[in-house]
Structure 1
């Protein structure tokens, strides 16, 4: 069939169009990369604000843009531990720090190394075994066991499952699974990888410019040894992940489509029966070798079918010979120990069937409905809808990154007094300004996204002091608070409204709340909460459409984050919400998870808090009809909004509204519903006790 005139070109172009329809287009790929590199900047800058030296890198398919919705790729995150100094040259030894010499010789598996402990006071080998993570070998060298990192990481990721060097956390519905790899950066490029920098293949790929950039990136070691090695507990795997990310970022669209098709084929035909055999990394490595050994003019959209067949044939040969050399460290055979003897004939038979099918086997792929789309040649409507959904998901990822790092920062200051909190926030704002002035690109964008939140929080703390001391709010507090009003649709504006309400200024409170309600389009705004994992439902159609033609600036018009108050903001918090800061009894504390420190703050979803404040404000103004409308909106939101992260808090606020209307039975029902949502660490217990006490007293 390949011999039929135009067959290859027609099938290749049709396949390229279908892949573009499911989001494998240059525009969507660049949008994916921008999103994850921005999240990377946010995470790294947040660690700098907290005086932690923990750079973070996102790697793999999500950041590369080499995935689709149907592939459901995990998030791969590399967390650097910079308290080690790994050297290959004695000249790089540093006094007073933990120095380790990377040993790479013929006794060590290729792609791995040993770490020999050195003295802190002189560039000499250490002679003492000081803990159980150190081992003296036959030559007297003190070597570091890789279990030091795996055991400490296991404590930190207690609910995670270890896969090689990674700790996998399974997400809730609607949340991507996360693989976190603790790693130690090397001072210089690994000796085993340096020879690659001087090699050049037939296709003149990678280019000299790409290799110069790769040379400037960091290498890492991670805590896992080569399978079956006699030194498995002592070996550390060498990673060249940033160089590999650079290579992937320089693939053209045909090469990326070829890689994604390989992953779909493996997922459909092989993983279903032989799960832990062929990895995505093997497919990527095969692609790299094919590109390096063919001329660049081969990789065209109208030749996609030939390119795919070439890659599948090389993958077939790799499995047949059980040999797939790492692209940068060729001595590291990726196939070693991964292809069970009894499975090998079946895997080869499957690949041979796909290669000989000349493209027909692709019709059997259910991932992203690829086979059905090839038949139908996807309509414009399907293309539009898919790209909208992908764009909306990427905007949501950015919003979660901002929210998660803001929450992490607030939790770190939750026990601070007024003076400490103000000093910490001022220091962070100044740091952000310095970082912003010294950087460019996405790092500057990350600073501009984060700084307004800190300004609003600082303004709210100052206002809390002012209200307590003078029952007034200073101009400085107002100015700082208003600097963050455009962070998202509602949360920062609600802080301003809350401040005005506690000040007793009902007229201005109503104006701010009216502005929020006018901006909060129920058809497009997405509630965002990262306090805990809960089953989130897909956003509304309007939300998906917004980001398709915008970048992260769309956050201010399409997302509504939680409203969070620190204890030192308490005078800007209505009485009904303050009890959320004291939700836990001594018994409840024992049932808290590690990631539930947010419970020491007052946290509420934006939309129910908007309607609650409206209810209270209209009550103060004596506008009964508007007050009743706000109450009905609060009830409807609690009942119908699927993406509330703090439904129990909204029910507690509604219960107190019922109490104030002298509807004790309805109030009790709200508190009991709240307890059904969150049985422990819930202020509803306090409200029930107070309600029953008042009933008895009256």
Structure 2
């Protein structure tokens, strides 16, 4: 490959150790991949159970395991809308679907196509004039415009190429969501690659067979260099590319990550019009070409510096020639029209400082303290002079984020389940079918989703029962029991609340006592998906999360307790105020993700102590009632991870009113308002409290 200086072996081995330390090792890579595949399975079967013909695919660095904490790679999701299909032959026309015919000719850029709308009653071209989502071309064909994507971009996101992108927030990654349509058969460009005779052994025949069995898509973006960009669609082979990434060895993954770090540290920096002219996808493509052109024996950890040097040399040649061929669709030049002569000059100048790679440029990489770590490994600096996170800290941090992200994805799905009871019952039946017929990922996904849905169904039935005759039916208990193990507390708190509202205070007290025993405060963490906030994890939670799998997290996680309007009779009147928190003016200050504000929502631990306070009051056990009040005050003051602290303060304020302490009550409500100025029931409580005080 290159002449190898003697010290390259030592630098390569130490560099590989540094990457191991920051989570670029086989264990963490596999954890990232498993979590990503499970998350996409949860989303897909949930969509199918809701009657939507969608398939969700997590793509990019997060799903491939080719990232680190410091790289902060975007979370990329491709949502395939299965009832809008792309065909290449009239025989593929499918009734009941919206059919588009793929058109490729001498005018469409390589890797792109046009989509002609077909009739829905016969395999014939549509001829009727359509709305502004379509355009008639000079041949009389009705073509689908990719600008339709603009209408799908919700508030808080903006269109970037084919995706609806949201910017990174504190503690949360940027997200790209791409809506795509499936190709019924393999596009010609992929077929050409599959049948291409390679001189090397990579990709293997088995990898190509798998790639052939995966779907291709079209996504809504045209070529930069095209005059018809508004109604061109890019052919996406992203699943075939993911297959290639999943078959890289750890040295190849490390090379790719190092390329991205170098890209971020030295190439895509200021003075280039704040635009990233060299993308991580280009780096990935360069890596593919390098792997295909060199024997597998070259790609080993002791040779990582040489491997990286070869990748950078290849990237430099691509920039010099302004030609980076897509690995699968070779005719598609990823650098076509990408940068001006001046930008090219700047890029080559920056690349020249990196080639030849002597290790010094690696010392300047601050991402994940890579440069400092490498110098420590090479005994060039004293570790005691630098505060660098230890390998175990990295492993725990990555694992916890992966597992809690998985839980958050489940909560995000069930948080909007305010449909009719019949709809929820149908959904559980559908999930049961997926569980019986599904693979391991689908069965795991069902086990995560079903308990929360069962609790919700049971609570709705109980609310109807209490309204009619103030009792709870065996049917309601059966459903609630099926969902009790969703997490440490939330489902059991719903059961205790039902007992309290039905007048069974003794049973409620027993349930609450059991929950308090199970809720290990030094370990159990509160998780909420109602809105975006940065969680703070306890040491005990971090330690156990690193040992547990995603299904075991239910033993150390407590979800927030959420009641929809259809569950109102299972909610103490003090919490019911939260369902009516918004005035007409407040509604103007709500965002697209604020539907939870129509619900009564409380964090598990403060709700536990509030219910104990109310239950012991009914049971006339004043000493235990005061203990519960003290605990409620304590948890609001000390628990860092409350998503609904303002609601807890509103509940505490009403307890203070019951204690005939109106001044303390008002202080609670004012503190609540400081946390959430708008859409807060504290406004009503203040008015009521002042009115009662004046009388």
TM-score normalized with structure 2 length: 0.95
Hey, what does 1:407 align to over in structure 2? Answer: 415
Provide the C-alpha distance between the structure 2 equivalents of 1:126 and 1:457, rounded to a whole number of angstroms.
46
Hey, what does 1:237 align to over in structure 2? Answer: 234
Hey, what does 2:86 align to over in structure 1? Answer: 86
Task: Return the offset for 1:70.
Answer: 0.1
Hey, what does 2:101 align to over in structure 1? Answer: 101
Provide the C-alpha distance between the structure 1 equivalents of 2:580 and 2:670, rounded to a whole number of angstroms.
18
Provide the C-alpha distance between the structure 2 equivalents of 1:471 and 1:563, rounded to a whole number of angstroms.
22
Query: Which deviates more, 623-632 or 426-435?
Result: 623-632
Q: Which runs of 5+ in 2 are unaligned?
A: 378-382
Answer whether contact 1:389 1:545 (CA < 8 A) is retained. Answer: no
Kindly report the root-mean-square deviation, in angstroms, between the aligned alpha carbons of the 2 structures.
Answer: 1.9
Hey, what does 1:416 align to over in structure 2? Answer: none
Hey, what does 2:247 align to over in structure 1? Answer: 250
Query: Which deviates more, 89-98 or 110-119?
Result: 89-98
Give SS of 1:634's match. helix
Provide the C-alpha distance between the structure 2 equivalents of 1:692 and 1:122, rounded to a whole number of angstroms.
70
Give SS of 2:358's match. coil
Hey, what does 1:506 align to over in structure 2? Answer: 505
Hey, what does 2:179 align to over in structure 1? Answer: 182
Hey, what does 2:465 align to over in structure 1? Answer: 466
Hey, what does 1:382 align to over in structure 2? Answer: 390
Decide which of 159, 175, 196 is 1:162's aligned counterpart. Answer: 159
Q: How many residues align?
A: 683
Give SS of 2:109's match. coil
Answer whether contact 1:203 1:296 (CA < 8 A) is retained. Answer: no
Residues 563-598 of structure 1, C-alpha deviations (whole Å, 9 max, x = no match)? 011222222211111111122223332332222111
Alignment of 1:266-345 (within 5 A): 266-273=263-270, 274=272, 275-345=275-345
Query: Which deviates more, 565-574 or 223-232?
Result: 565-574
Hey, what does 1:358 align to over in structure 2? Answer: 358
Give SS of 1:584's match. coil
Alignment of 1:297-696 (within 5 A): 297-377=297-377, 382-408=390-416, 410-411=417-418, 413=419, 420-421=420-421, 423-534=422-533, 536-696=534-694
Give SS of 2:486's match. coil
Query: Which deviates more, 628-637 or 206-215?
Result: 628-637
Q: 1:601 to 1:293 in 2, by over 3 A?
A: same
Residues 466-525 of structure 1, C-alpha deviations (whole Å, 9 max, x = no match)? 333333323332232122222112111211221222233333323322332233233332
Query: Does structure 1 residue 221 correspond to structure 2 residue 229?
Result: no
Give SS of 1:122's match. coil
Answer whether contact 2:225 2:336 (CA < 8 A) is retained. Answer: no
Hey, what does 1:417 align to over in structure 2? Answer: none
Hey, what does 2:380 align to over in structure 1? Answer: none
Hey, what does 1:34 align to over in structure 2? Answer: 34
Answer whether contact 2:536 2:640 (CA < 8 A) is retained. Answer: no
Give SS of 2:106's match. coil
Task: Return the offset for 1:12.
Answer: 1.4
Alignment of 1:60-79 (within 5 A): 60-79=60-79
Give SS of 2:230's match. coil
Task: Return the offset for 1:691.
Answer: 1.8
Task: Return the offset for 1:681.
Answer: 2.0
Answer whether contact 1:584 1:683 (CA < 8 A) is retained. Answer: yes
Q: 1:381 to 1:592 in 2, by over 3 A?
A: closer
Provide the C-alpha distance between the structure 2 equivalents of 1:68 and 1:521, rounded to a whole number of angstroms.
31
Provide the C-alpha distance between the structure 1 equivalents of 2:104 and 2:204, rounded to a whole number of angstroms.
28
Task: Return the offset for 1:544.
Answer: 2.2
Task: Return the offset for 1:680.
Answer: 2.4
Answer whether contact 1:202 1:294 (CA < 8 A) is retained. Answer: no
Decide which of 190, 193, 199 is 1:193's aligned counterpart. Answer: 190
Hey, what does 2:134 align to over in structure 1? Answer: 134
Give SS of 1:342's match. helix
Give SS of 2:415's match. helix
Answer whether contact 2:305 2:357 (CA < 8 A) is retained. Answer: no
Query: Which deviates more, 503-512 or 303-312?
Result: 503-512
Task: Return the offset for 1:234.
Answer: 1.6
Answer whether contact 2:19 2:25 (CA < 8 A) is retained. Answer: yes
Q: 1:175 to 1:312 in 2, by over 3 A?
A: same
Provide the C-alpha distance between the structure 2 equivalents of 1:201 and 1:4, rounded to a whole number of angstroms.
28
Provide the C-alpha distance between the structure 2 equivalents of 1:287 and 1:220, rounded to a whole number of angstroms.
23
Provide the C-alpha distance between the structure 2 equivalents of 1:137 and 1:462, rounded to a whole number of angstroms.
56
Q: Which runs of 5+ in 1 are unaligned?
A: 414-419
Task: Return the offset for 1:381.
Answer: 7.5
Answer whether contact 1:490 1:606 (CA < 8 A) is retained. Answer: yes
TM-score normalized with structure 1 length: 0.94
Residues 355-380 of structure 1, C-alpha deviations (whole Å, 9 max, x = no match)? 32422211110000001111223899
Give SS of 2:177's match. strand
Give SS of 2:355's match. helix
Q: 1:4 to 1:255 in 2, by over 3 A?
A: closer
Provide the C-alpha distance between the structure 1 equivalents of 2:172 and 2:4, rounded to a whole number of angstroms.
46
Provide the C-alpha distance between the structure 1 equivalents of 2:602 and 2:98, rounded to a whole number of angstroms.
45
Give SS of 1:356's match. coil
Task: Return the offset for 1:5.
Answer: 6.9
Provide the C-alpha distance between the structure 2 equivalents of 1:493 and 1:650, rounded to a whole number of angstroms.
18
Query: Does structure 1 residue 212 correspond to structure 2 residue 209?
Result: yes
Answer whether contact 2:4 2:306 (CA < 8 A) is retained. Answer: no
Answer whether contact 2:309 2:357 (CA < 8 A) is retained. Answer: no
Provide the C-alpha distance between the structure 2 equivalents of 1:235 and 1:147, rounded to a whole number of angstroms.
10
Provide the C-alpha distance between the structure 1 equivalents of 2:338 and 2:222, rounded to a whole number of angstroms.
15
Task: Return the offset for 1:235.
Answer: 0.9
Query: Which deviates more, 81-90 or 583-592?
Result: 583-592
Provide the C-alpha distance between the structure 2 equivalents of 1:263 and 1:580, rounded to a whole number of angstroms.
47
